[in-house]
Amino acid sequence: MSEVINHFLKYVSYDTQSKDEVDAVPSTSKQRILAEELVKELQAMKAADVRIDERSYVYATIPATMDKAVPVLGFVAHMDTSPAYSGADVKPQIVKNYDGKDILMNADTGLTMSPEDFPDLLKYIGQDIITTDGTTLLGADDKAGVAEIMTMAEYLLAHPEIPHGTIRIGFTPDEEVGRGADFFDVKGFAADVAYTVDGGGLGELEYENFNAASARVLIHGSSIHPGSSKGRMRNALLMGMEFHNMLPAAENPMYTEGYEGFYHLDSMTGSVEEARLDYIIRDHSKKKFEDKKEFMTRVADYLNHRYQSGTVELILKDSYFNMKEKIEPHMYLIDIAKTAMEDLGIEPLVTPIRGGTDGARLSYEGLPCPNLCTGGYNYHGKFEFIPVQSMEKVVKLLLKIVEKFAEK
């Protein structure tokens, strides 16, 4: 089995699920266990400047092997997995020489993954595919990225005859809850540019992402016995439904793709007395993004006017912004990655991210940081999978990018 797969299977055995609405970073202490393991491995490889901070960010350096001055290059991935689905006791399984048919993921439950539902599978007929057993997510988002960077580092440190400049490595906690870049030491990282390795299928290359915000809607009702409530009850649940129904029905992630933004109702809880709706707001266009937030504000104002002031509280919070404007002055990063892919027979797929990465935040903090593929699909759920050969090619891609930087 290849080194990248050995690393990957080891890392997915660690439960590093992050948790929403926790002030501490990392949001779960179990993330530090993997962080400390990565530190040990980096030290064993003889990486330089290996350190872990109090918030479990991991940093290391692969020293330059040539005198020529080239940009200091960084590679970044995140250690946590999504709160959306369990990451505990992951049981990966490797489907050898995939035949294009349904994959039986779990013999006990009969769960299968079908190319009719997931046609991307058909791209990998004849390859080896790693899946879950359907009881957890797999964790390729982003332990595949971690494994690929670690394998690249291991190779370069074992072959000092390969000419390259200084390379920085960074692993972050809590990316899945939007806090991966909160305490990233950009100054101490001291890279001129970087790539996150946190994308999807082989060939994906991304330098545009959503502008993102969260919206919390708190509805204050008034509970009265339904037998004597005429003219007096104000049902917070019904008012919450009214709020939601005033949003554009077509601007829902179920109906959008490409550059189209959305309002996504992520959770709704409550009673007649109090209700809470949590949304995420996304759009690639900064103007449309601001328009969406302003529209939500107008809906809240309307309902407060209709019922009474204070009935609806709207709490908006920006999460991250589209990194495009920060990458465009450094488009050589995209050109190098595309050329590296083409040299390896990988078709570059330059697409907008319908989400975000640590790289978006880091780009706004002065570290231009587009996103590279990991090779995985169907993140955040039980149907997650990643082809073995794609991971092996991503390692070659990282090495090729290092080579291209050495030639600058």
Binding residues for Zn(2+): 78, 141, 176, 198, 380
- Cα distance between residue 353 and residue 155, in whole Å: 30
Torsion of CA 183, 189, 194, 200, to 10 degrees: -50
Cis previous bond, 318, omega within 30:
no
Among 15, 41, 80, 358, which one carries the catalytic annotation? Answer: 80
Q: How many CA atoms lie within 13 A of 98 on its CB side?
A: 28
Say how many C-beta atoms besides its own lie within 10 A of residue 191's C-beta. 23
Q: Is 327 helix (H, G, I), strand (E, B) or coil?
A: helix
Q: Is 370 helix (H, G, I), strand (E, B) or coil?
A: coil
Q: Where are the beta strands (DSSP E) in 240-373?
A: 262-270, 274-283, 312-320, 349-350, 371-372
- Cα distance between residue 219 and residue 244, in whole Å: 12
Among 175, 208, 251, 283, which one carries the catalytic annotation? Answer: 175
Say how many C-beta atoms besides its own lie within 10 A of residue 268's C-beta. 16
- Cα distance between residue 116 and residue 114, in whole Å: 5
DSSP 254: G
Query: In the chain, count of helices (H) and strands (E)?
Result: 10, 17
* Contact by Cβ (8 Å): 349, 205: yes
Is 80 annotated in the active site? yes
Q: How far apart are the first and last CA of the chain?
A: 34
Sign of torsion, CA 371 374 376 380? negative
Provide the annotated binding site.
78, 141, 176, 198, 380
Catalytic residue IDs: 80, 175
